[in-house]
Amino acid sequence: MRHAPGGSRSFGAAVCAALLVVTACTTDNGGGGTEGNGGNGGSSTDTIRGAWIEDPTTFDPALTQTTDDYRAARIIYDTVIRRDLDGELIPGLADEWELTAEGAVLMIGEGHTCADGTEITPTVVAESLTYLADPETNSLHTTGIFGDGEVSITGDDDTGEVSIELSEPHTDLLVGLAIPQAGIICPAGFEDMEGLAAGGVEGAFSGPYALTSANLGVSYEFELREDYGSWVEYSEQLEGTPAATLEFVVGGADAVANQLLTGEIDVAPVNTEEVARFEDDDTYELTVAATGEAYVMINHGETSPFQDEDLRRALAQIIDREALRDIAYPVGDLIATLGDENMLCANTDFDLLEHYDTDAVGDAFEGVSVNVIGTEAIGQNGAATIYVQEQLAAAGAEVDLYNTDVGSWVDQIYEEPETWDVTVYATVNNLGSISWGLGTVIGPWYVEGGRNMTYSENPEAAEAFEAAMSAESEEEMCEHYQIAQEAALQSVDFIPVSMVTQSIISREGFSVQTPGGKEDATTLRILD
Amino acid sequence: MLIALARPWPAFLLRKGTELVLAVLVLIVITFLTVHLVPGDPARVIAGTDASLEHVEATRERLGLDRPVLTQFWDYFSGVLTLDLGDSWRRPGVDVNEIISTRLPFTLSIAIAGIVITIVASLIIGLSVAGLTRGNRNQWLDSIFGWVTAGVLALPVYVIGAILVVIFAVNMGVLPAAGANSLSAYILPVAAIASGPISSMSRLVRREAAIVLEQDYMRTARGWRLSTARQFAKHAVPNLLSSTLTLSGLILASMIGGAIIVETVFAWPGLGRAVVDSIIDRDFAVTRGIILTVGTFAVAMNILIDIVLALVDPRTLRAGKALT
């Protein structure tokens, strides 16, 4: 009966053989691109592999609404204006522009073409921007780019000009035209709107890459257009060469760091807590992009104890902004307003802020009930609001904390203002302008058609903010913004913390830039 | 025999059919209610964090959430009856059926691979341990087997997944850490999803096999000097099939449900990750479509197992109830 040994040997041999086959078959790491596990991939490939969090919801730039939508739009559509590496506005499809009292005039350059060879003329640009501005389009970005008034856009192919006329002045117009959401759609896109949204109309693309493969939930591939000649001329020439192919795998943010370490992908944003895994390895480089501003949002409404300016001041005194920054966005710069020093018109005077001084608070919070709400997305498992809760409790307040998912949290801020008093908020500042963040704490309330979610009443700040939005020169605009920021900071309408950041890791042999602090996949390069 | 079987079968099938219909109806109601019970306004989340009040209202209208609840339910219910789950809320123009049909093969592929490996590995391991420890021999092996399987069962699947990634992807570099871009990408998710079930099923097989091996017919087989392989294949395995099949059906259903975690760990583009993303995005058209599909599949699997068991062992029919 004991025949097992012979059988065991055969079985063992079979298992070993199977393992060898599996191992031999899989040493490519499944990536199918550059070298595997941590090798130098750069010069030996013409492909750069990145990662997206989820599938883009649309390839129509006007209808984009998620980070990955914006990432895709930047790759396949060019804009009339671009941002230089330091944030300055530089030519895109437009060679020159002029901000006027009525809007702006753009001078469209020559030689720009769509992916189907169609020339990008002022008429083409005007048609695309008109679509973006049209209320029927129901774009999330129309107001940010063109303001609240009516918009009229015309293109003149003889003079090469595109005129944008606004019924209400809007100083964010030019920075708005530089964001990927304002990407120029070529005429072929308007002939097949469904195909445009699905990314299936190659002739619609005005940018350097064309979408060639969309595998839902798995990956997206873009090929460099052979006829493309509209590369942005940055003040510093980008080192390396653009990839012939860009491939973005779709995966959870949690898996991306592992994929970078195994060499399955080359460049990708990673979670803040994963950055430490790359810090001691000089074959990886960290690039920081700014996506918005983090601040302590204070409810000034009737039901909130923070209607009282003295209590808001006391709140500012018990918040160590540096500590809160370290918890929420450790690589973000501290800010003295809702924007950093690279942002036009941003206040840089930190003396305008209340300083951390818990002793000065005294018994201001004794017997005060405070409802703190937050999301687990800011700081690990909602650590940012937990910090605020702890500080308030230590100061003697009776604190209720409600940390939840982003959707419920945002909904509560907007729809149930009577249920919260303070939260740690992070703007999504696509425009990269000072007005975007300030608009959430100054000016008309959300329920009255504005963007202010704090129910603050600060007439001085509101008037200056409005004047800044309709200023006729940069100097005038910044003067008004400074007044608005000083007025809001002096009455502690909000407590600035830091820039909201996105950490991008690139493997040796690859690089990426962040023009104006924003992630931009058209700057991805393979280094020699 | 055929006559005896013919009578209980219609009643049995009718009962099972009724169970399926009732379960699906309950699923339809539950999935519909998710929209109204989960905190947060889906229109606000879908419209975007910075959307204006006007834009949020337009989104609410587009989603049909401004209509009476009963109207919304009827639209959903009648849609399900015609297999039309509507468009994704997040991706207008993209059919939920299309999302499910794109994602389902990924989930099914790791679940089916997982269950096949589970059955094969469990039979091999369970029978081997039972054979080697028969008659109180090799007790050390029995102890090791018990400890190892209990240890694996105690580990949550995401821990097992993370351990596999660290060893085989990050340190050894022989397998992909995530994604579904190659055949080799299947190995770690399948290993992770199958490790727990292999442990539980091999313990079941080992216990059942220990009893079977002591039966008279097995002694007779040994007396005929049949090879071990023949003894097991011809006499032991068929007697283990009933319990193994029952458990494997349940495991397959739970694997599809449990794929949520494995798919998240391995960025696997299946239904599990899609349902998590849809909940976060408040894309409830996708959420309820997936839950309805997976739930219906789980109920159908259980009924299928009952039918198979009734075919294998007609006593379950006469008892009026299958073993499950």
Reported as a single tens digit per residue, the pLDDT across A309-335 is 999 999 999 999 999 999 999 989 999
Mean pLDDT over each residue of chain A, to the nearest integer: 89
Look at B11 and A323; give whichever has higher pLDDT: A323
pLDDT at A125 over 90: yes
Poorest-pLDDT segment among A56-70, A224-238, B118-132, B222-236: B222-236
pLDDT at A205 over 90: yes
Pick the most confident of A238-252, A483-497, B87-101, B116-130.
A483-497
pLDDT at B216 over 70: yes
Per the structure block, which two tokens stand in for A234?
Answer: 């940055």
Q: Mutation test of the interface with chain B: which of A26, A49, A338, A446, choosing the one with the most B Cβ atoms within 10 A?
A: A26
What are B246-302's pLDDT values in tens digits?
777 778 777 776 777 889 889 899 998 899 889 888 899 999 999 999 889 888 888
The pLDDT value recorded for residue B6 is: 52
The pLDDT value recorded for residue A225 is: 96
pLDDT band at B322 (very low <50, low <70, confident <90, very high): very low
Query: What is the chain B residue with the closest CA to A136?
Result: B58
Q: B45 — contact with chain A (CB < 8 Å)?
A: yes
Q: Is the dihedral of CA A59, A65, A67, A71 positive or negative?
A: positive
Q: Which long-range contacts (CB under 8 A, 24 or more apart) does A222-229 make?
A: A222/A75, A222/A76, A222/A246, A222/A247, A222/A248, A225/A115, A227/A113, A227/A115, A227/A117, A228/A113, A229/A111, A229/A112, A229/A113
Taking an 8 Å cut-off on Cβ atoms, the answer to whether A36 and B173 are in contact is yes
Which is nearest to A92 in space by CA: A105, A101, A79?
Answer: A79
Q: Summarize the confidence of residues B8-15 as an average pLDDT.
A: 84
Q: Summarize the confidence of residues A208-214 as an average pLDDT.
A: 96
Look at A309 and A18; give whichever has higher pLDDT: A309
Cβ contacts of B39 on chain A, cutoff 8 Å: 404, 408, 411
Taking an 8 Å cut-off on Cβ atoms, the answer to whether B176 and A261 are in contact is no
Q: What's the rounded Cα separation, in Å, for the pair B211 and A197?
A: 63
The pLDDT value recorded for residue B251 is: 82
Cβ contacts of B185 on chain A, cutoff 8 Å: 30
The pLDDT value recorded for residue B219 is: 79
B181–chain A nearest CA distance, Å: 6
Q: Summarize the confidence of residues B140-154 as an average pLDDT.
A: 93
pTM of the model: 0.84
Q: Is the dihedral of CA A133, A135, A136, A141 positive or negative?
A: positive
The pLDDT value recorded for residue B324 is: 41
Taking an 8 Å cut-off on Cβ atoms, the answer to whether A255 and B273 are in contact is no
Poorest-pLDDT segment among A53-57, A126-130, A250-254, B102-106: A250-254
Q: Is there a contact between A424 and A413 (Cβ–Cβ < 8 Å)?
A: no
The pLDDT value recorded for residue B301 is: 83
Look at residue A48 and give its three-state secondary structure.
strand
Which of residues 68 through 107 in chain B touch A, CB cutoff 8 A? Answer: 90-93, 99, 102-103, 106
The letter for the amino acid at A176 is G
DSSP class of B50:
T
pLDDT band at A13 (very low <50, low <70, confident <90, very high): very low
pLDDT at B232 over 70: yes
Taking an 8 Å cut-off on Cβ atoms, the answer to whether B40 and A407 are in contact is yes
Q: Summarize the confidence of residues B92-115 as an average pLDDT.
A: 91
Q: Summarize the confidence of residues B56-76 as an average pLDDT.
A: 92
The pLDDT value recorded for residue A329 is: 93
pLDDT at A32 over 60: no
pLDDT at A200 over 60: yes
pLDDT band at A28 (very low <50, low <70, confident <90, very high): very low
Q: Summarize the confidence of residues A383-410 as an average pLDDT.
A: 94
DSSP, residue by residue, A502-514: EEEEEETTEE---
Taking an 8 Å cut-off on Cβ atoms, the answer to whether A3 and B54 are in contact is no
Q: What's the rounded Cα separation, in Å, for the pair A77 and A212?
A: 14
The pLDDT value recorded for residue A41 is: 54
Q: B136 — contact with chain A (CB < 8 Å)?
A: no
Mean pLDDT over each residue of chain B, to the nearest integer: 85
Percentage of chain A modeled with pLDDT above 70: 92
What is the spatial order of strands in the sheet that A422-426 belongs to? A267-270, A494-507, A284-298, A422-426, A369-375, A398-404
pLDDT band at A111 (very low <50, low <70, confident <90, very high): very high
Q: Summarize the confidence of residues A113-139 as an average pLDDT.
A: 96
pLDDT at A11 over 50: no
A63–chain B nearest CA distance, Å: 10
Angle between helices B187-213 and B237-265 (to 10 degrees): 160
pLDDT at B136 over 90: no
pLDDT at A26 over 50: no
Poorest-pLDDT segment among A177-181, A227-231, B3-7, B62-66: B3-7
The pLDDT value recorded for residue A42 is: 56
The pLDDT value recorded for residue A254 is: 76
Cβ contacts of A65 on chain B, cutoff 8 Å: 47-48
Look at B139 and A22; give whichever has higher pLDDT: B139
**Tokens 């005294």 correspond to what residue?**
A362
Q: Between chain A and chain B, how many beta carbons pairs sit less than 8 Å apart?
A: 165
Taking an 8 Å cut-off on Cβ atoms, the answer to whether A32 and B181 are in contact is yes
Poorest-pLDDT segment among A297-301, A418-422, B209-213, B229-233: B229-233
Poorest-pLDDT segment among A21-30, A74-83, A141-150, B92-101: A21-30
Query: What is the chain A residue with the closest CA to B128?
Result: A4
The letter for the amino acid at A413 is I
The pLDDT value recorded for residue A454 is: 95
Instruction: Please tell me which of the candidates A30, A54, A407 has its beta carbon nearest to residue B181.
Output: A30
Q: Summarize the confidence of residues A54-66 as an average pLDDT.
A: 93
Poorest-pLDDT segment among A483-492, B2-11, B253-262: B2-11
Chain centroid to Cα A133, Å, comes to 21
Cβ contacts of B184 on chain A, cutoff 8 Å: 22, 25-26, 28-30
Poorest-pLDDT segment among A73-77, A154-158, A175-179, B126-130: B126-130
pLDDT band at A253 (very low <50, low <70, confident <90, very high): confident
pLDDT band at B140 (very low <50, low <70, confident <90, very high): very high
The pLDDT value recorded for residue A1 is: 34
